[in-house]
Amino acid sequence: MPRLPDRRQALALLTACAVLPVQAQAAFALPQLMQLLAQVKSGEATFTEVRHSSLLDRPVESSGRLTFEAPDRFVRETLKPRSESLAVVGNEVTMRQGSRSRTVQLDSVPEAAVVVAAVRGTLTGNRDAIERNFDAQVSGSAARWQLLMVPREEKLRLQVVQIAVVGERSQLREITVSMTGGDYSIMKIQAK
């Protein structure tokens, strides 16, 4: 007949079991988040966004669709209040509004490049892109997490204070871009 543990052994066993979930939760960091996100190779979602600007009397609301395909394709199609799109493929950005369109190299617009790097890097789980462009901090667990990114380049920090991404498992749910001067936007994302 096996011997039952004494009180000290039982207490040690219970303490170890209580500590395990805390240790497992503490292990969720940028490498684990990027590995989780990298499993998704493409996706579609709808979004609603509210932009707050000190130059405007009231916030600007928009909505539309998002699509991405790893490793470097991202499209944001705004349907309301007016039709426009932004398509990023590699280093090329094509902006369309009505019948007009314009294509530029992404690295020629650094403030846009940093936001695209954050969104595209997060969507594709590209840890190198995130760490190359941002000081990144992850909190939470795989079930619900937050990724805070501060641009590494001082020149970009003069425009973009930080980008916060909230997600659940491999799905992005909200992206907040905070600009200097207090302007910010909050995009809520609903996967299809």
Determine, yes or no, domain membership for 12: no
Q: How many domains does the chain have?
A: 1
Is 7 part of any domain?
no
**Any idea what the CATH number is for the domain that residue 171 is in?**
2.50.20.10
Residue 182 within a domain: yes
Q: What is the pLDDT of residue 3?
A: 53
What residue ranges in the chain does DSSP mark as E strands? 42-52, 60-69, 73-80, 84-89, 92-97, 100-105, 134-140, 145-151, 160-168, 171-179, 184-191
pLDDT of 17 reads: 43
Q: Is residue 154 situated within a structural domain?
A: yes
Residue 178 in domain = yes
Q: What is the pLDDT of residue 98?
A: 87
Task: With respect to residue 22, please indicate whether it lies within any of the assigned structural domains.
Answer: no
List the chain residues with pLDDT less than 70.
1-26
pLDDT of residue 7: 45
Residue-level pLDDT at 49: 98
The residue range of the domain holding 96 is 28-53+62-191
Give the span between the Cα atoms of 77 and 89, in whole angstroms.
Answer: 14
Query: Residue 153 has what pLDDT?
Result: 92
**Residues pairing with 7 in the sheet:** none
Q: Tokens at residue 184, please?
A: 């910010």
Secondary structure of residue 6 in the 3-state scheme = coil
Strand partners, 100: 97
Q: What is the pLDDT of residues 2-50, one digit of tens each?
A: 454 554 443 444 444 444 444 444 579 999 999 999 999 999 999 999 9
Residue 160, domain member (yes or no): yes
